[in-house]
Amino acid sequence: MKAKINGKELPEAANEVAIHTANVGKILLLKLYVDGVLAQTIYGDGLIISTPMGSTSYALSVGGPVVDPSLKVYVIAPIAPFRHIASALVVPADKKLEIKVEKKAKIAIDGITTHDFLPDEKLEIVKSENEASFIKLKDNFYKKIYEKLSFRLSGIE
């Protein structure tokens, strides 16, 4: 996925773009727009926008869903929302996402690159024109998730 702040391109993300509070312990107000329409107002520690590949990582740890990698969607998951009216959303990857913050925040791309995000700026997330190719192993995605994430219940097969 491609991220831009006020038109300036940031490095592309394979897994997720995360917006965090700039100061630990301080709540952040974020507004999320989908194709120009206000979709959520979030009070919390931040927001994660994840690809299907990233859905089994950071987004999952904050309550987001596991998404089949064949789907062309984004998972939008709040980080520690103050009010639990904000829940994870799944939106088609061809939608344009915009995020605004009311005070200084940080943006982390794939947990590596960080950037400042200021209140007078707008973060845009769009689908990248670049497609990544991965070697597909014989393991079934659902079997692998079941085994890796320990979704087993003893005594039930």
- Which residues lie below 8 Å from residue 50, measured CB to CB, with a gap of 6+? 15, 16, 57, 58, 59, 64, 67, 74, 75, 76, 77
Superfamily of domain 2-129, CATH level 4: Probable inorganic polyphosphate/atp-NAD kinase; domain 2 (2.60.200.30)
pLDDT of 99 reads 98
What's the mean per-residue pLDDT of the chain?
Answer: 88
Q: What pTM was estimated for this model as a whole?
A: 0.87
Cα(46)–Cα(30) distance, rounded to whole angstroms? 7
pLDDT of 106 reads 96
Domain boundaries, the chain: 2-129
Structure-token pair, residue 122: 């707008």
Cα(96)–Cα(35) distance, rounded to whole angstroms? 5
Q: Using an 8 Å Cβ cutoff, are 15 and 52 in contact?
A: no
Residue with tokens 């097969």, as numbered in its chain? 157
List pLDDT tens digits, range 53-95. Answer: 999 889 999 989 999 988 999 999 999 998 766 689 999 999 9
Tell me which of 43 and 131 has the higher pLDDT: 43
Say which amino acid occupies 112.
I
Q: What is the DSSP string of 57-70?
A: THHHHTTPPP--TT
Q: Using an 8 Å Cβ cutoff, are 69 and 10 in contact?
A: no
pLDDT band, residue 134 (cuts 50/70/90): low
Tell me which of 143 and 45 has the higher pLDDT: 45
In the chain, % of residues over pLDDT 70: 88
Residue with tokens 């998972």, as numbered in its chain? 75
Cα(38)–Cα(118) distance, rounded to whole angstroms? 19
pLDDT band, residue 12 (cuts 50/70/90): very high
pLDDT of 127 reads 92
pLDDT band, residue 147 (cuts 50/70/90): confident
Residue with tokens 């690159």, as numbered in its chain? 113
Q: Which of 16-30, 98-112, 121-135 has the lowest mean pLDDT?
A: 121-135
